[in-house]
Structure 1
């Protein structure tokens, strides 16, 4: 009886083709999530022609330390208090020139919404999630006040109007109608939000 030489060899000639097909399959079917990023405009490179004098009382300073604690106008506050305090500052109407404001008219706080500036500064070791959450609360303060005025003037929220206006699928006629309304509300409470240079903790 003849002796066998060994087990038959496996034909691996088509393995490269199979691997290539699997690679194409995963490339086609896999979805890659992309971050939308932050909607922020950088300041112009050119310095202003005239020096702008800003009163200290018209600046609402918010600081975030490396532990995520908030300091607003030299007072430690919780995250839930930030939006209310920012709204009180923006809506204060210290000089009495704002006819639509409902603030306390505190002489030590902002003169009116057009002069009010919110400044945010964080430590280099601040967690990214904390920083974004604080940003959202500040932007939320602007949106809440804008929604209030949009309801008073047009019977709908500003955020809905803005979303419809910015939607590329919105008909041009509707967008033209919304453009003036959105700009008017933005002018009532202009978003003067300054993000100061980050600091390093000692």
Structure 2
């Protein structure tokens, strides 16, 4: 009886198929990407630019040392207290706002703060300055930034609820779903201009 020979398999074509499958999965697979913290870098000022004079009371100093300890206005603070402290500073409304188009915006008529003469004049003048150390943990820095963003979110939600009967979060969602809606756009701009997000990152200090 003749012995049956096992047919050979052309492995070359299998390699081509595996390569095509690899390309297919690389093209179609989606990967989760961390969004991080949204930051808009300022443009380089012209050579003849003269920086405006900023009153010390309009600057809210937040420092994170190399031991990941939080100091606000020179005093130690628990990070859980930071949001409320930032809200109090931003919403103080103790003076006049910025001059826009040659006209002063006047006092803040929507602020609900203490209107202290030793704190910020107006939300559009309130600057939060964050300075970390080169030895600060990145996680701690992120937590601090999140608490500051929560302060703005709380104030914007409150004002938006008063003016438009919805939270700012809901308003932004509605506008993102209908970018051509001019009315929604004006409302979003109105709330953002009332409580502009002004967070400045100072140059980190060097750890010894």
TM-score, structure 1 length as denominator? 0.83
Q: Does 1:16 align with 2:18?
A: no
- Describe how 1:84-103 pairs up with structure 2 within 5 A: 84-95=84-95, 97-103=107-113
State how far apart, in whole Å, the 1-side matches of 2:184 and 2:203 are: 36
SS of the residue 2:191 aligns to:
helix
- Could you say which residue in structure 2 is the equivalent of 1:5? none
- Describe how 1:105-144 pairs up with structure 2 within 5 A: 105-144=115-154
- Could you say which residue in structure 1 is the equivalent of 2:165? 155
State how far apart, in whole Å, the 1-side matches of 2:76 and 2:53 are: 28
State how far apart, in whole Å, the 2-side matches of 1:24 and 1:50 are: 55
Alignment coverage as a number of residue pairs: 191
State how far apart, in whole Å, the 2-side matches of 1:19 and 1:195 are: 49
| Residues 98-146 of structure 1, C-alpha deviations (whole Å, 9 max, x = no match) | 2211111222211121211001111112222221221111111111111
- Moved >4 Å (runs of 4+): none
State how far apart, in whole Å, the 2-side matches of 1:123 and 1:171 are: 40
- Could you say which residue in structure 2 is the equivalent of 1:180? 186
1:171 Cα shift?
5.6
The CA RMSD measured in Å over matched residues stands at 2.4
- Could you say which residue in structure 1 is the equivalent of 2:99? none
SS of the residue 1:110 aligns to:
coil
State how far apart, in whole Å, the 2-side matches of 1:13 and 1:51 are: 71
1:18 Cα shift?
6.1
| Residues 35-94 of structure 1, C-alpha deviations (whole Å, 9 max, x = no match) | 334321111212474430001111001111223221110011111100000000011122
Q: Does 1:36 align with 2:30?
A: no
- Could you say which residue in structure 2 is the equivalent of 1:60? 60
1:17 Cα shift?
4.3
TM-score, structure 2 length as denominator? 0.80
- Structure 1: runs of 5+ lacking an equivalent: 1-7
SS of the residue 1:120 aligns to:
strand
1:19 Cα shift?
4.5
Q: Does 1:46 align with 2:54?
A: no
- Could you say which residue in structure 2 is the equivalent of 1:201? 207
State how far apart, in whole Å, the 1-side matches of 2:179 and 2:36 are: 26
State how far apart, in whole Å, the 2-side matches of 1:60 and 1:159 are: 25
